[in-house]
Structure 1
Amino acid sequence: MLRNEVWASALEVDGDLEGTFVAIDKETPTATDRQIEVDIPRCHQYDELLSSSEGHRKFKRILKAWVVSHPQYVYWQGLDSLSAPFLYLNFNNEALAYACLSAFIPKYLHNFFLKDNSAVIQEYLAKFSHLIAFHDPALANHLSSISFVPELFAIPWFLTMFSHVFPLHKIFHLWDKLLLGDASFPLFVGLAVLLQLRDTLLTSGFNECILLFSDLPEIDIERCVTDSVDLFCITPRSVTYRQHESPIGKFSSDSLRNFGHVLQSECCPRISGAELMDLLDLEHVKFSRSKALVVDIRNLEEYPFQFNRGAIPESVSIPFSTITADEEGKAVLPPAKLIQLQQCSKGKIVVVVSARGMNSAEVGVLLIFVFLFNQMSLKSYCLL
C-alpha cells in the first residue's frame, strides 16, 4: 500500500508536485500525439485499471507533460511502458506519477531519449556485452560465434527498464531493488535474465536464439532479483563505467575515459588501476588474499625493470611475442605458462596489463580462447 510513496522517496521526489504538473500545457496538440495514442492501447492492457478509458486519458496527460517539459528529448516508443508502473501506483495522483517518471529517467536512462541516441545506446550495449564476458566467458564466446549480439534483443529491455518485457507484478518486485541501485544495476538484471536462459542459449544457433527472445520464456523474477544483486555486489565498479552516464553520483575514472572510442572492438571490460590495486590487496599478498591475477604481456625487454618500471607482485609474465597460433589460427601459449595460469587463476579475476601502445584487447581475446579451449576455470576477465 505504501510502494508509491517509498518509490517517490527513493527517487527523491519533493516540492510542489501538483503546482508543477498543473502548470504544464497538456492540451495543445503536438507532433507526438499520434504516436502516443497508438502506443497507449498496447501498453499493459491486460490490466483493468490501465486499459480503462480513464487510464488512457491519464496515460496521455502524463506522457504529454513529460514531452512538453523536456524539449531536449523526443518521444521514443517505450516511454509509455516506463510510465505504466508509476501511473498504476499513483492512479489518483497524476502529479506524483509524472514526478516519479521525471526523476527516474535521468537516473537510469540519461540521454536515452535524445533524438540521436545512437552513441548512448551503443555504449550501453557494449558495456552489457563486456559484463557477459566478465562473468560468463563461455556464454559470451558462444553468442559472439553465432553473431547474436545484444542489439538484436536487449534494446527494449533497457529502454523500458524491462517494463515492456515483464508484467506489472514482476516489474514492481524488480524495481523495488532497481531503485536502490545505481545506473549500472539494470545491466546486471539483463545478465541475470541471460543466465537463467544459459543452458538453452549454449545449445542454440542464431535462428533459435531469435525465436527464443521473440517470445521470452517464463523468468523466475525472485531468482532474477537475487542474482542481479549478487552480480552487482561482486563486480568492480569501473567495469561498468560509462561516459554517457548521468553525472549525478557517477563513478569517475580518468584512466578509463580515453577508451570510449574502442568499446565496440573489445570483447571484455577494462578495470581502473585503483580498483585493481584494491583487488590485489598487496599489503597482505603473502596471505594469498588477492582476488585478481595479473597477466603482464610486456615483452621481455620491458619486463620487469626497464626504464625503472617494476612488475606487480605475483603477476604472470606472458610476453606478447611468445603467443603463437596453431594451423587453425587458434592461440597457443608456451606449455609452462599454460600450467602456471591453470594453477594461479582459479577463482580470481584475470587482468591483462600491457605497455603503452600494446594491444591488450587483442591479447584478451586470445587468452579467453586459451582458457575456454583448455577448460580452465575462468571466473571473470578484464583489461587494464
Structure 2
Amino acid sequence: MPTDVVLPPRPDRAPERARTASERHRADLYDAYAALLSPASAYPAGRYRSTSEIADGLKRLRRLILTEGIPDVPGRPPLRPRIWKLMLKVDHLHAEDYLRYVASGPSSVSTKIKNDTFRTLATDTQFKGRVKEDMLIRLLEAFVWKNHGSERDGLPFTYVQGMNVLSAPFLYTMPSQLEAFACFSNFIERACPLYVQPTLVGVHRGLKLLDRCLKIVDAELYDYLRSKNLTAELYAFPSVLTLCACTPPLDEVLQLWDFLLAFGAHLNVLCVIAQLILIKEELMESPSPMKLLRTFPPLQARPVISITLALAKDIPEDVYAELIAHPVA
C-alpha cells in the first residue's frame, strides 16, 4: 500500500452527547474508510499485506463508496484525494519530471488549450474560486510535453477537446497540482485513452453504445427520441466526452466520479441514460425534446448511480463487454 494514502492519527472525539446521529454516522464511516486506507496500524512492523488482502480491502472500499458515498467530516483530512489516488494507482509522485514539463513552456497546441481553458466550468463560482485558469493551462501543457514524441500502447497523446473539463475535477479535488497531474495522467492514459485520441474514437463508440443500451433498457423512450430524429450523437456528446463533468453542480459530479473511478469509466454511458430516465416523463410529453436536452437538468449523483446499477443488470453480456472495452480497446 502506498505511503501517501496513510491518514494522520484521528483527533479526539467530541463527547457523544454533543453530536447528532448523522454526525456520529459520518464519523464512524470516516473511521471505516481510514482503517482501509491506513493498514499500518492493523499489521505488525515488517508485515505487508498479501495480494488477496489488498484485493479484499479494495472490495470493501468500493462497497462503501457504492452504499455510503465518501464522508466529509469537518476537522478531518479529506478522504476523496486519497481514495482517488488509490483507485487510479498513483503511488509515486515525480516532482522533478513535472517541473521539467512545466519549464518546457508553451507547446505546439498551446493556442488550442487556451481557447478552451477560460470557459472551463465557467459558471461554477466555487470551482473558479479554487482553480485558476493558469493551473489548467499548466497541467494540460505538462501533459502534452510528457507525451511529446512518444506513444503508449501504440496510442499518441496530445491535447484534444474536452480534456480541459476532464482535468477540472482533479485540480479541484487534489491538495496539489502535482497530485492532480499524476491522477489526470493515469486516468487519461489508462481509464479512457480512446476518448482523447484526435478522432475521439472512444467517445463516438460510447455514443453508439448509448443508443443501443437505451433501446434495450427503455425501448419506449428510445423510439420516441428516434421519432424526433434524436440520437446520442446529437444530445449526449458533451456528457459522454466529459464523463458528465459538464453538468453542474460540481459537488454532485465529484460524487459520481467517486463511483466511476471505483467501478470503471465505461459506466458513464449508463449514467447518461440514467439522467434521461429521470426526466423521461418531461421528454415524452415534449413535442421538441431537444429543447430539454440542450442543457441537462442539475446532476443528482445518488439517483443516477442507483439507476445505473439497475440498468447494468439488463444489458446483455456481449453488449456489456463492448461497454467495458470501448474507452480503452
TM-score normalised by structure 1 residue count: 0.58
Match of 2:219 in 1: 137
Deviation, structure 1 residue 234: 4.5
Deviation, structure 1 residue 46: 4.4
Match of 2:34 in 1: none
Cα distance in 2 for residues equivalent to 1:46 and 1:145: 34
Match of 2:251 in 1: 169
Residue deviations 1:37-76 (CA, integer Å, cap 9, x gap): 2322222244556435972222111111112223423322
Match of 2:298 in 1: 218
Match of 1:184 in 2: 266
Cα distance in 2 for residues equivalent to 1:181 and 1:88: 21
Assess, with a 3 A threshold, how the Cα gap between structure 1 residues 142 and 43 changes in structure 2: closer, same or farther: same
- Structure 1 position 64 matched with structure 2 position 147: no
Q: Which has the higher contact order (CA 8 A, sep 6+)?
A: 2
- Structure 1 position 105 matched with structure 2 position 182: no
Cα distance in 2 for residues equivalent to 1:50 and 1:203: 35
- Structure 1 position 121 matched with structure 2 position 121: no
Q: Percent identity at matched positions? A: 25
Q: 1:153 aligns with which of 223, 235, 238?
A: 235
RMSD, aligned α-carbons: 2.3
Paired residue type of 2:198:
K
Assess, with a 3 A threshold, how the Cα gap between structure 1 residues 54 and 7 changes in structure 2: closer, same or farther: closer
Match of 1:36 in 2: 113
Q: 1:75 aligns with which of 127, 145, 159?
A: 159
Kept in 1: contact 2:114–2:137 (CA 8 A): yes
Kept in 2: contact 1:44–1:167 (CA 8 A): no
Counterparts of residues 1-384 of structure 1 (less than 5 Å): 1-48=78-125, 50-51=127-128, 55-71=132-148, 72-90=156-174, 92-117=175-200, 119-205=201-287, 208-242=288-322, 244-247=326-329
Kept in 1: contact 2:249–2:298 (CA 8 A): no
Deviation, structure 1 residue 103: 1.5
Residue deviations 1:297-336 (CA, integer Å, cap 9, x gap): xxxxxxxxxxxxxxxxxxxxxxxxxxxxxxxxxxxxxxxx
Assess, with a 3 A threshold, how the Cα gap between structure 1 residues 202 and 120 changes in structure 2: closer, same or farther: same
Cα distance in 2 for residues equivalent to 1:66 and 1:12: 18
Deviation, structure 1 residue 25: 4.2
Assess, with a 3 A threshold, how the Cα gap between structure 1 residues 53 and 120 changes in structure 2: closer, same or farther: closer
Cα distance in 1 for residues equivalent to 2:253 and 2:160: 20
Deviation, structure 1 residue 10: 0.8
Secondary structure of residue in 2 paired with 1:42: coil
Deviation, structure 1 residue 6: 0.6
Kept in 1: contact 2:203–2:240 (CA 8 A): no
Paired residue type of 2:203:
I
Paired residue type of 2:158:
V
Kept in 1: contact 2:98–2:142 (CA 8 A): yes
Deviation, structure 1 residue 138: 1.1
Deviation, structure 1 residue 18: 2.0
Paired residue type of 2:294:
S
Kept in 2: contact 1:26–1:64 (CA 8 A): no
Rg comparison, structure with higher value:
1
Deviation, structure 1 residue 229: 2.2
Cα distance in 1 for residues equivalent to 2:96 and 2:104: 16
Secondary structure of residue in 2 paired with 1:238: helix
Q: Which moved more, 1:224-233 or 1:20-29?
A: 20-29
Paired residue type of 1:94:
Q
Kept in 2: contact 1:174–1:221 (CA 8 A): yes
TM-score normalised by structure 2 residue count: 0.67
Deviation, structure 1 residue 150: 0.5
Deviation, structure 1 residue 151: 0.6
Cα distance in 2 for residues equivalent to 1:145 and 1:34: 41
Assess, with a 3 A threshold, how the Cα gap between structure 1 residues 128 and 89 changes in structure 2: closer, same or farther: same
Kept in 2: contact 1:110–1:246 (CA 8 A): yes
Cα distance in 1 for residues equivalent to 2:126 and 2:198: 32
Deviation, structure 1 residue 213: 1.7
Match of 1:274 in 2: none
Paired residue type of 2:189:
P
Kept in 2: contact 1:50–1:56 (CA 8 A): no
Kept in 1: contact 2:117–2:137 (CA 8 A): yes
Secondary structure of residue in 1 paired with 2:289: helix
Secondary structure of residue in 2 paired with 1:185: helix
Runs of at least 4 residues off by over 6 Å: none
